[in-house]
């Protein structure tokens, strides 16, 4: 019985060692804060440039296949194709887009960021300026690229009168 226990313990240890080696391979490579900030800034700048150029497909490529986008009015778009449809409609009525990053945080392959945006949109009485906030959660991919998993735009609400 003791021999059987030792043999089983040996197999268990080998199995754990193999799992530990696989887990190490799946972990994110070490990235400096400067690298992550530069990658995130490049994504933000490219997103803005493509949006200004009305390239909805180019912007949509920055989203993961199963990404979720919530627009400034609370409408939710699930998946890259739905996000592309939203972007095609919104880019045609907006211009003068300016996106600024306030801050980012990262852990492993995940990067969260938030900031502000300003753009001109066509309204029923002419062009108007829309100013809001955004937040994203993005993930580094195996090829080193960054894909957006979650994107939310928000318009600040007026505080209630007291």
**Does a structural domain hold residue 12?**
no
52 inside domain: yes
Residue 99 has pLDDT above 70, yes or no: yes
pLDDT band at 1 (very low <50, low <70, confident <90, very high): very low
In a domain, 93, yes or no: yes
Within a domain: 4? no
Q: Sheet containing 110-123: which strands, arranged edge to edge?
A: 76-78, 63-70, 146-154, 126-140, 110-123, 94-107
In a domain, 5, yes or no: no
* pLDDT > 50? residue 50: yes
pLDDT at 9: 39
Confidence of residue 26 (pLDDT cuts 50, 70, 90): low
Structural domain total, the chain: 1
In CATH, what number is assigned to the domain containing residue 64?
3.10.450.50
Note the pLDDT tens digit of each residue in 106-132: 999 999 999 999 998 888 888 989 899
Task: Give the separation between CA 147 and CA 50, rounded to whole angstroms.
Answer: 15
Domain extent, residue 122, equals 30-154
- Residue 22 included in any domain: no
80 pLDDT higher than 90: yes
- Asked whether residue 36 carries a pLDDT value surpassing 60, the answer given is yes
Flag whether 159 is in a domain. no
């Amino acid at each position: 019985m003791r021999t059987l226990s030792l043999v089983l313990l040996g197999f268990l240890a080998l199995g754990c060692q193999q799992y530990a080696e696989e887990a190490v391979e799946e972990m994110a490579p070490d990235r400096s804060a400067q690298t992550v900030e530069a990658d995130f800034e490049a994504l933000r700048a490219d997103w803005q440039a493509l949006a200004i150029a009305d390239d909805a497909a180019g912007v949509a490529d920055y989203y993961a296949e199963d990404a979720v986008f919530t627009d400034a009015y609370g409408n939710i778009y699930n998946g890259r194709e739905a996000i592309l449809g939203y972007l095609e409609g919104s880019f045609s009525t907006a211009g003068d887009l300016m996106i600024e990053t306030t801050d980012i945080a990262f852990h492993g392959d995940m990067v969260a960021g938030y900031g502000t945006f300003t753009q001109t949109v066509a309204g029923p009485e002419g062009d108007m300026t829309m100013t809001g906030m955004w937040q994203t959660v993005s993930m580094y991919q195996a090829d080193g690229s960054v894909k957006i998993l979650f994107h939310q735009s928000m318009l600040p609400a007026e505080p209630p009168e007291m």
